[in-house]
């Protein structure tokens, strides 16, 4: 029996069609996994619930709360799309067991702590990296002390006013954070598309305007030792039988020597013969020696954030690399025998329709195994959010359900349309870009031969066409996407003719 329950809430159902959701891949809940691992390091028992594999209703949650020892503590993780669900869970927790201390953390809580703390069920907000702060809060609560007062990284209410304690310094030695306690999640191993998950680094030194990762983990690039990463990979491959290792770092080779040593370690231990590897890289870091080593270490696919086909827009978003850098990296990676994937953001500030069509033409020339065209979701905590908010140009739907980068398949109210652009045209272009890639001979080959499509978002069963229930899911998804595409196209043409 433990005092602590950690919950990973599910994304709001209104942000994505149920027919698409039926085929969405389920990602391993790294946030609560790392937090659980850190508490376990101090022999603090913890219970974990990932709503994607264990959906909660009021009764189930109440039952779980009653099984906790008193004082009860619940930690809930949030990104923007899961925040409203986190608030609902917080209110259920207070209804079932009013004395439970409810702590909310994660990127959304970090960037808009006032919003989170204003929710009736929430007692404490943790901003930034959570491991050390949560441990401190748990110690204080179990010792009967006032939990929030003075603890760095915590926002709390004090005599009716909200107090944001200063942030703690970032943990310098990441190896102090123990490996993920995979055993806590192993019963659902088959449900996760990336159970073989490794996060080798935290922090990113680049200033991209659309990305909020740095508000969470800082601009200083910190990384786990090679020995530690190899230990985790060995565990996943040899104990949990994983055949694909997903390095979910923002960028796997910011520190070139470290990446080369990691690859050498993988090869030295023969792990490259037992598993393949995937990760994301910036174009300007993909030097030939890095790619040669990645190929030897059995990297099967590398993702690059191309974002746009326009050098001008690349400067607007402050990516600090050029389109030519990324395009060259994609070609070279392909020549090294490694598959490539990318994501594109349509609807960036100052973008024109011509920019989008030029980008589509460029993408068609690239040897990509996977591509996803998204529309911009200006997440709180990003430079683009601050700029567009100041100009009152963001469309908010209730619970920010439209802040899904693929919301265009759900509704017309995407959060932002750049000046001079027509909303329906932007949506049409983005849909067309995705459909024309996946319905081309190359895209269809991906759908029939790979189990992941659309930048690892959709998980398709191998040989899905031989399984009637999977084939039905595929049919229903494509039918939904096609009807929505048709509706947008007809309305766009009608609008134009008027």
Determine if 204 is a binding residue for ligand SF4 (CB under 6 A): yes
Joined tokens for residue 88: 């609902």
Quick one: 113 or 130, whose CB is closer to ligand B12?
130
| Strands 370-375 and 452-453, bridge-based pairing | unpaired
Please identify, among the stretches 17-25, 72-80, 210-218, 335-343, the one whose residues bind ligand SF4 according to the rule CB under 6 A. Answer: 210-218
Please identify, among the stretches 83-91, 111-119, 209-217, 331-339, the one whose residues bind ligand SF4 according to the rule CB under 6 A. Answer: 209-217
184-186-191-193 Cα dihedral, nearest 10 degrees:
90
Determine if 379 is a binding residue for ligand B12 (CB under 6 A): yes
Q: Count Cβ atoms below 10 Å from residue 482 Cβ, excluding itself.
A: 13
Half-sphere exposure in the Cβ direction for 338 (13 Å, CA): 31
Half-sphere exposure in the Cβ direction for 153 (13 Å, CA): 24
Spatial distance between the Cα atoms of 473 and 471, rounded to a whole number of angstroms: 5
Please identify, among the stretches 113-121, 207-215, 335-343, 443-451, the one whose residues bind ligand SF4 according to the rule CB under 6 A. Answer: 207-215
Determine if 305 is a binding residue for ligand SF4 (CB under 6 A): yes
Which residues in 318-377 contact ligand B12 (CB under 6 A)? 377
Determine if 223 is a binding residue for ligand SF4 (CB under 6 A): no
State the DSSP code for 358.
Answer: H
Q: Are 98 and 120 in contact (CB under 8 A)?
A: no
Which residues in 217-256 contact ligand B12 (CB under 6 A)? 217, 248, 250
Residue 206 interacts, among ligand SF4, ligand B12, none and using kind-specific CB cut-offs from 5 to 8 Å, with: ligand SF4
Determine if 108 is a binding residue for ligand B12 (CB under 6 A): yes
402-403-405-409 Cα dihedral, nearest 10 degrees:
-10
Judged by CB under 6 A, the residue of 7, 36, 61, 213 near ligand SF4 is 213
Spatial distance between the Cα atoms of 331 and 226, rounded to a whole number of angstroms: 28
Determine if 81 is a binding residue for ligand B12 (CB under 6 A): yes
Nearest to 296 by CA among 322, 266, 326: 266
Spatial distance between the Cα atoms of 368 and 437, rounded to a whole number of angstroms: 10
Judged by CB under 6 A, the residue of 28, 38, 182, 206 near ligand SF4 is 206
Helices 256-268 and 288-296 meet at what angle, rounded to 10? Answer: 20
Q: How many degrees, rounded to 5, is the angle at CA 211 between CA 90 and CA 128?
A: 45
**For residue 452, what is the enclosing H or E element?**
strand 452-453
Judged by CB under 6 A, the residue of 56, 93, 126, 414 near ligand B12 is 126
Quick one: 210 or 409, whose CB is closer to ligand SF4?
210
Judged by CB under 6 A, the residue of 79, 229, 275, 330 near ligand B12 is 79
Quick one: 213 or 453, whose CB is closer to ligand SF4?
213
Q: How many degrees, rounded to 5, is the angle at CA 195 between CA 190 and CA 198?
A: 170
Judged by CB under 6 A, the residue of 4, 12, 20, 27 near ligand B12 is 27
Each residue 177-196 as x (binds ligand B12 by CB under 6 A) or -, in order, gives: -----------------x--
**For residue 157, what is the enclosing H or E element?**
strand 154-158
Contact footprint for ligand SF4 (CB under 6 A): 204, 206, 208, 211, 213-214, 250-251, 282, 305
Contact footprint for ligand B12 (CB under 6 A): 11, 27-31, 34-35, 75-77, 79-82, 103-108, 126, 129-131, 134, 194, 197, 199, 211-213, 216-217, 248, 250, 377, 379, 404-406, 456
């Amino acid at each position: 029996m433990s005092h602590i329950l950690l919950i990973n809430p599910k994304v709001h159902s209104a942000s994505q069609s149920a027919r698409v959701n039926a085929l969405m891949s389920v990602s391993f809940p790294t946030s609560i996994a790392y937090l659980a691992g850190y508490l376990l390091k101090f022999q603090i028992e913890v219970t974990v619930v990932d709503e994607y594999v264990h959906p909660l209703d009021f009764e189930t949650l109440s039952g779980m709360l009653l099984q906790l020892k008193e004082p009860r503590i619940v930690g809930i993780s949030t990104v923007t799309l899961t925040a409203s669900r986190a608030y609902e869970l917080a209110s259920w927790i207070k209804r079932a067991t009013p004395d439970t201390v409810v702590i909310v953390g994660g990127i959304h809580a970090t960037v808009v702590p006032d919003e989170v703390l204003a929710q009736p069920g929430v007692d404490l907000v943790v901003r930034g990296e959570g491991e050390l702060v949560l441990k401190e809060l748990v110690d204080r609560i179990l010792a009967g002390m006032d939990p929030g007062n003075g603890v760095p990284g915590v926002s709390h209410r004090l005599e009716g006013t909200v107090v944001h304690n200063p942030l703690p310094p970032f943990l310098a030695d990441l190896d102090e954070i123990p490996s993920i306690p995979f055993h806590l999640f192993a019963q659902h191993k088959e449900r996760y598309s990336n159970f073989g998950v490794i996060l080798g680094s935290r922090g990113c030194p680049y200033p991209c305007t659309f990305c909020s990762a740095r508000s969470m983990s800082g601009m200083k690039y910190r990384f786990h030792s090679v020995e530690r990463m190899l230990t985790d990979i060995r565990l996943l491959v040899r104990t949990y039988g994983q055949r694909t290792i997903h390095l979910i770092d923002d960028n796997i080779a910011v520190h070139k020597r470290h990446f080369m040593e990691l690859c050498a370690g993988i090869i030295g231990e023969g792990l490259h013969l037992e598993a393949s590897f995937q990760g994301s890289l910036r174009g300007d870091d993909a030097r030939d020696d890095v790619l040669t080593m990645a190929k030897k270490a059995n990297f099967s696919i590398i993702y690059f954030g191309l974002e746009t086909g326009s050098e001008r827009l690349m400067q607007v978003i402050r990516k600090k690399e050029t389109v030519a850098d990324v395009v060259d990296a994609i070609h070279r990676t392909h020549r090294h025998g490694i598959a490539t994937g990318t994501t594109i953001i349509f609807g960036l500030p100052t973008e024109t329709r011509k920019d989008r069509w030029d980008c589509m033409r460029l993408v068609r020339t690239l040897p990509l195994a996977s591509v996803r065209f998204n529309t911009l979701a200006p997440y709180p905590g990003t430079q683009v959010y601050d700029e567009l908010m100041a100009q009152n140009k963001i469309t908010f739907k209730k619970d920010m359900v439209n802040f899904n980068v693929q919301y265009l398949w759900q509704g017309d109210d995407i959060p932002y349309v750049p000046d001079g652009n027509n909303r329906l045209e932007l949506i049409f272009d983005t849909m067309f870009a995705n459909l024309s890639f996946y319905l081309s001979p190359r895209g269809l080959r991906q759908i029939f031969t790979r189990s992941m499509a659309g930048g690892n978002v959709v998980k398709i069963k191998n040989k899905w066409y031989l399984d009637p229930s999977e084939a039905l899911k595929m049919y229903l998804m494509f039918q939904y996407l096609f009807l929505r595409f048709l509706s947008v196209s007809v309305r766009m043409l009608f609008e134009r003719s008027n």
